[in-house]
Chain A
Amino acid sequence: MTRSIPLFVPPAGSAAPGAAAPGVTSPPGRILRKRLAAAALSAAALLAGCGTGGMGQVAVSRECGAGRSCDRSALDVPIAIGARLTPALFAAVKGSAMPALTMRSAAAGVLAVERGQLVGVAPGASAILFATPEGTVIDFLHMWVARASRLELRVELADHTPLGSAATSIDLLVGDELHLTAAVFSDAQRLGGDFELALESSDASVAVLRGVTPERRRLIARSPGQSTITASALGLETTLTITVQP
């Protein structure tokens, strides 16, 4: 049995946030406090699957609704070409709440910013600058974009609890429901970002319903029979056979 092994790289730029640059002296207590705060921000960012900016002042994670499965859209993995991601920004600027920030891509041909969303365009890396409307940069995060080479279907409970990879053949009873999402990979690396999952059923025994989010679909076993479910996303395809038992 093969098993997917997603890889996570600790957020870039988290190693020395807040440390005084050579030549800039600070009292030892302040350096220690800043390093502790930066370490706490980095640890929280890593645990939450988000990234810490290169200046250690902004943590970025995916905007995620309550109960929604967010694991595949974390910011510590490359974004798939064609996928979109809405980041949520958290400030770690002592004595100040987060000002209104704008996002700007250093390489829009790799990772574009469209109406507050990050969109994977081409393989590569790009810094995303987080700046005030006046143009003062608060922080930046280097993000990667990769081409997806494999699509894998995932099963979730109705409450969005992920159950893991879907088997290639599933038996259901009439009236059963199945909630499917998809994950995309580039070689061993799981990719992030939101994308639309299209499902088609070859037989009326299984109905496909749109979910409340574009990446989630609901299958309902309506009558005995066998159906091939063809899933497609980001130019990739995979199939799943569902047999509805009487």
Chain B
Amino acid sequence: MNKSSLVLLALLFAGCGPWFHAASTAPPGRRASLDTKDRAIELSVGVALAFSCTKVGPCRGAAAVSDDPSIAEVHEAHLNELGTDVWRGNLPASTFVVVGMSPGQTTLRVRSKDGDKTLSVTVLPVAPPTVADRGLTDRPGPAGDAMLAR
């Protein structure tokens, strides 16, 4: 392999990961999503989303900060599971929780031994009340999310 191929390979690896994946869901009528490809998070105000940082396995020594904590806070989280790194074996999951504090846009900066990345965060205002907000009516919904009891 010649020198230019090595440089190209290094550049390719440099552009790969870390990757971020959502690890929780939104409550009914609210938004909480993470687009792994675009590294974009959408959250409703008052909603929290857990996400993991991985490269070959869990990110090592990862830390995250928010450019504007008044819009979105980010916290280190403990997720009780191991991820497999093909080189290093089982490592503890690298997880964070982002919380929508007020409407707006900001950036999360994640630093780790596996590389540094940014994620854009859009915090959405609370939408008009949905069926779930107004109080579910008199029968279970088709999604089976509600049950009746006397």
* Residues on A facing B (Cβ under 8 Å): 3-10, 12-13, 15-16, 18, 20-27, 30, 34, 54-55, 57, 92-96, 106-107, 110, 123-127, 129, 131-132, 135-138, 140, 142, 144, 146, 186-189
**Complex contacts, B149 vs chain A, CB 8 Å:** 5-8
A30 to B93, CA, bound (A): 14
Also in contact, A12 and B28, with CB within 8 A (given A26-B83, A106-B99, A135-B76) = yes
Nearest B residue to A31 via CB reads B81
Binds A, one of B5-13, B105-113, B114-122, B129-137: B129-137
B40 within 8 A of A: no
Also in contact, A30 and B47, with CB within 8 A (given A137-B76, A142-B27) = no
Partner among B22, B47, B52 whose Cβ is within 8 Å of the Cβ of A125 = B47
In the complex, are the beta carbons of B148 and A5 less than 8 A apart?
Answer: yes
A108 to B148, CA, bound (A): 30
Q: Which residues of chain B in 33-64 are interfacial with respect to chain A, using CB atoms and an 8 Å cutoff?
A: 36, 44-48, 50-52, 54, 57-58
In the complex, are the beta carbons of B80 and A93 less than 8 A apart?
Answer: yes
Number of B interface residues, CB 8 Å?
53
Nearest B residue to A135 via CB reads B75
B101 within 8 A of A: yes
Chain A to chain B: the 9 pairs with minimum beta-carbon distance, closest first? A107-B46, A127-B48, A142-B27, A187-B135, A54-B24, A24-B83, A189-B135, A21-B21, A137-B77
Also in contact, A106 and B148, with CB within 8 A (given A55-B79, A126-B46, A136-B75) = no
**Complex contacts, B23 vs chain A, CB 8 Å:** 21, 55
In the complex, are the beta carbons of A125 and B48 less than 8 A apart?
Answer: no
Nearest A residue to B44 via CB reads A125
> Could you list some 6 contacts between A and B, CB below 8 A?
A6-B150, A24-B83, A93-B78, A110-B46, A125-B46, A142-B27
In the complex, are the beta carbons of B145 and A142 less than 8 A apart?
Answer: no
In the complex, are the beta carbons of A9 and B145 less than 8 A apart?
Answer: yes
**Complex contacts, B26 vs chain A, CB 8 Å:** 142
**Complex contacts, A26 vs chain B, CB 8 Å:** 81-84
A228 to B31, CA, bound (A): 48
In the complex, are the beta carbons of B97 and A124 less than 8 A apart?
Answer: no
**Complex contacts, A189 vs chain B, CB 8 Å:** 135-136
A18 to B95, CA, bound (A): 12
Q: How far is the CB of B20 from the nearest CB of chain A, in Å?
A: 9
Nearest A residue to B129 via CB reads A123
Nearest B residue to A105 via CB reads B46
**Complex contacts, B82 vs chain A, CB 8 Å:** 26, 30
In the complex, are the beta carbons of B25 and A9 less than 8 A apart?
Answer: no
In the complex, are the beta carbons of A13 and B21 less than 8 A apart?
Answer: no
Q: How far is the CB of B69 from the nearest CB of chain A, in Å?
A: 12
In the complex, are the beta carbons of A8 and B147 less than 8 A apart?
Answer: yes
**Complex contacts, B45 vs chain A, CB 8 Å:** 107
In the complex, are the beta carbons of A55 and B50 less than 8 A apart?
Answer: yes
A34 to B82, CA, bound (A): 11
In the complex, are the beta carbons of A10 and B145 less than 8 A apart?
Answer: yes
Partner among B25, B28, B48 whose Cβ is within 8 Å of the Cβ of A129 = B48
Nearest B residue to A57 via CB reads B80
Also in contact, A142 and B81, with CB within 8 A (given A8-B149, A16-B25, A106-B101) = no
**Complex contacts, B46 vs chain A, CB 8 Å:** 106-107, 110, 124-127
A25 to B85, CA, bound (A): 8
B146 within 8 A of A: yes
In the complex, are the beta carbons of B81 and A7 less than 8 A apart?
Answer: no
A9 to B97, CA, bound (A): 24
